Copies of this chain bind each other. A is one copy, B any other.
């Protein structure tokens, strides 16, 4: 009876044994809902009903955990559509990657921080890059142009927007900020642009700026540029 009672009590925390996949899934879920700041070894362990040290049996350290989380989300990107020309194949895959990033807003920051830390790309990321290179090569790009294309695309290959600022809506008004009219007077060009954009599409609430449109605009400008270089060498 004592054993049964103990098992009933243990049923609150999952009985399925810990695995690397379960640790990574818990970490991704935690980051999805609370952002990357809410991600700590202690908190992942708590979510799994496990003592913090138990995690270190499945991931060597936090960096390996982050790499594993990257692999999980990269795996969500659609495989390359076959039969399409290089331009639409690249385009579709990048847009799929962007949808993944919108589901996992923490991912771009984690990927970037792992790059800055001079970490090696994971095998999953290399697989992704290899397949992207293959699309350019299959489209008839020379090795040199493919090399340049990979640099030109850069993080956009993974759906990064490369914008300076995120959507401005829902930002805390800072106390030391001058009032809007003074801002407008000091930065006339920003004010002019903000006015025009706000007036342009009144339908969209918030930023008054269609992120998806701007992303595709920039992506197409880049792909068109590459196509031109590919066409007349």
Contact = CB atoms under 8 A, between A and B. Distances in A.
Interface stretch (A3-11, A18-26, A219-227): A219-227
A232 interface: no
Nearest to A170: B118
A107 to B, nearest CB: 11
B218 A133 contact: no
Interface in A110-155: 112-113, 115-116, 118-121, 123, 126-127, 129-131, 133-134, 137, 143-144, 146-148, 150-152, 154-155
B193 A151 contact: no
A56 interface: no
B166 A116 contact: yes
A143 B152 CA distance: 26
Nearest to A112: B112
Range for the number of chain A residues in contact with chain B:
35 or more
A82 interface: no
Interface of A, helix, strand, loop or mixed by DSSP: helix
Q: How many copies does the complex hold?
A: 2
Contacts of A224: 225
27 contacts: A109-B112, A112-B112, A116-B166, A119-B174, A120-B171, A120-B177, A123-B186, A126-B183, A126-B186, A126-B187, A127-B187, A129-B190, A130-B187, A130-B188, A133-B189, A143-B192, A146-B193, A147-B193, A147-B196, A147-B197, A151-B163, A151-B217, A154-B163, A155-B164, A158-B164, A160-B162, A224-B225
Interface of A: 109, 112-113, 115-116, 118-121, 123, 126-127, 129-131, 133-134, 137, 143-144, 146-148, 150-152, 154-158, 160-166, 170-174, 177-178, 183, 186-190, 192-193, 196-197, 200, 209, 214, 217-218, 221-222, 224-226, 229
